[in-house]
Amino acid sequence: MKTVKYRCQMCGHSEDLRWYHRVGSAVMTGFFVVGLMVSTWAVVMLVQGHNPAGLFASVYMNSFALAHDDSLREAADTMTVGCEGGRLDCYIESVYANMSHLPYRPSSRFVSLYNPEYVLEHGGDCRNTAATFTGIMTSLGFEAHMVCNSHHCISAVPDKGYGGKRYDQYYIVDFAFGFMAKANSTEAPWDAWNRLSG
């Protein structure tokens, strides 16, 4: 390991490495290792047919949707006034019917995600409507999540019945293409979307 910054060849004078030189090289090594790990992960995901950009988008969008579920509770209660108990089909059909009239509105150049309250009034693109729908369903107590690839976002809601932990089917909801359908839990969301939207 290098212990001096430099040593003069003529007189032999040397300057010791300061603590920040050692920390700087350790930090750079850490960045290199993390970058190598992320690159390897991305290549493995691509080889297996997954989209790393879509995975990052899904994680971000789900956290955005869950952050707004409390503020959407009033809208959710209004949309599902006739539903009782834990019947997912009643709740999901009521919310879909109330949101399906929303116009498609592309995101602005400056704002990629609008507040869900804005989306309920003015519409939005696939990300905004899926985030709003996911927030509404989670505020009602159902498990819901967004699934995004690099070009499109949809919502998926597992049909667990009355308090079940396992599910055989789930709903796929896509407001940009205007459909809601059930898919088997053995089928990946994008495979089901390709089959059902075509």
Q: How far apart are CA 175 and CA 193, in angstroms?
A: 12
| Nearest partner of 171 among 147, 152, 150, 148, judged by Cα | 147
Residues 24, 59 within the same domain: no
Q: How far apart are CA 130 and CA 5, in angstroms?
A: 56
Residues 9, 92 within the same domain: no
Q: Do residues 92 and 171 make contact, with C-beta atoms less than 8 angstroms apart?
A: yes
Residues 24, 106 within the same domain: no
Residues 56, 96 within the same domain: yes
CATH of the domain at 90: 3.10.620.30
pLDDT value of position 50: 57
pLDDT value of position 92: 94
pLDDT value of position 52: 57
Residues 112, 190 within the same domain: yes
| Nearest partner of 170 among 152, 149, 188, 153, judged by Cα | 188
Residues 129, 179 within the same domain: yes
pLDDT value of position 59: 66
Three-state DSSP class for 157?
strand
Kindly report the three-state secondary structure assignment for every residue of 20-77. Answer: HHHHHHHHHHHHHHHHHHHHHHHHHHHHCCCCHHHHHHHHHHHHHHHHCCCCCHHHHH
Residues 158, 189 within the same domain: yes
Q: Which two tokens stand for residue 51?
A: 């989209």
In the chain, the number of structural domains is 2
Residues 167, 123 within the same domain: yes
| 56: containing domain | 51-197
Residues 59, 23 within the same domain: no
Residues 138, 166 within the same domain: yes
* Amino acid (one-letter) located at 37: M
- Which one-letter DSSP state was computed for residue 100? T
pLDDT value of position 53: 56
| Nearest partner of 98 among 72, 75, 73, judged by Cα | 75
pLDDT value of position 18: 65
Q: Which two tokens stand for residue 141?
A: 């107590």
Q: Print pLDDT tens along the chain (198 aa).
A: 556 555 666 666 666 666 666 677 777 788 778 877 777 766 666 565 555 555 555 666 667 666 766 678 888 888 999 888 778 889 999 999 999 999 988 876 666 667 888 888 888 888 889 888 988 888 888 888 888 887 888 999 998 765 556 678 899 999 988 889 999 888 888 888 888 877
Give the pairing type, strands 153-159 and 14-16: unpaired
Residues 18, 79 within the same domain: no
Residues 184, 115 within the same domain: yes
pTM, rounded to two decimals: 0.68
Q: Which two tokens stand for residue 197?
A: 């939207």
Look at the block and give the residue holding tokens 């359908």. Answer: 181
